[in-house]
Amino acid sequence: MSQSPESTTNSNPFTKPGFIIAAALVVALIAAAVVIFLLPNEQGNAQPAPAQTSSAPASPSTSTASDESVCGLPASKDTALGTAPTSKWELVGTMAVPTDPPTAGPGTVGKDGLRSCFAQSPTGALYATANIWAASFNGYAKQVYLELSADSPTRDKAVQAIREGKDVGGGTTPKVQIAGFIIHSYTPKAAVVELAIKSSDGGYGAFSTSLLWEDGDWKMDIPAAGGNAVRQISDLSSFIPWAGV
């Protein structure tokens, strides 16, 4: 499948009807808000601008913890996914997420429903990305910071805000579903996964997430400023289709 970059639009998204604007993982002390703009299909002919280029994964953590999965999931020597994995899907809030506990994860589901422990493999990184964002969009923003984020100064500020009782809720829950993916890069220590999502009105958006393998699980590497790379797309032509709804 062709994976040429999809177009972004250079017009002001706030002036266009039909957009869904969703803020997730918001902390007042840091610029780590993520905003997703979903362009309805009928507006897909907007003039394109150059697509954002995914940055290389950040340097892996220097943690001395074992590389082995914290819950015993098998690792893989694969470095890419050419096709969508066959997946069973379950709902986290309103969003369908993939699940394969014996092989890809989640290997652990907490009493509060938070899902963690994903395999050290491209499929595990993909499953982790999907589950992390579903959690953040459906009431688990605080737990994502505390349990599913890699060590970094940005995470430290978020944790401090949480301990001070500041609100880190994700704002309005977006009504979106996963529609496809690209794994831009993968090593056993770091990965960059981009998810395409579809809104209830038929619009599409995409956002890229950096992951680090830390303490036996995939953790989201929170950007130092500005949120994750987000772009508008008009279709799924550059993505591997993958959906549970």
Query: 157: pLDDT confidence band, cut at 50, 70 and 90?
Result: confident
Amino acid occupying residue 134? A
**DSSP assignment letter at 78:** -
Instruction: Give residue 163's pLDDT.
Output: 86
Residue with more model confidence, 101 or 54 = 101
Instruction: Give residue 227's pLDDT.
Output: 52
Pairing assessment for the beta strands 204-214 and 217-220 based on DSSP bridges: antiparallel
Instruction: Give residue 51's pLDDT.
Output: 37
Contact 174, 22 (CB under 8 A): yes
Instruction: Give residue 165's pLDDT.
Output: 82
Mean per-residue pLDDT, 18-25: 29
Q: CA dist 201 to 14, 17, 90, Å?
A: 16, 11, 22
Mean per-residue pLDDT, 211-240: 86
- Alpha-carbon distance of 108 to 150, in angstroms, equals 18
Query: 202: pLDDT confidence band, cut at 50, 70 and 90?
Result: confident
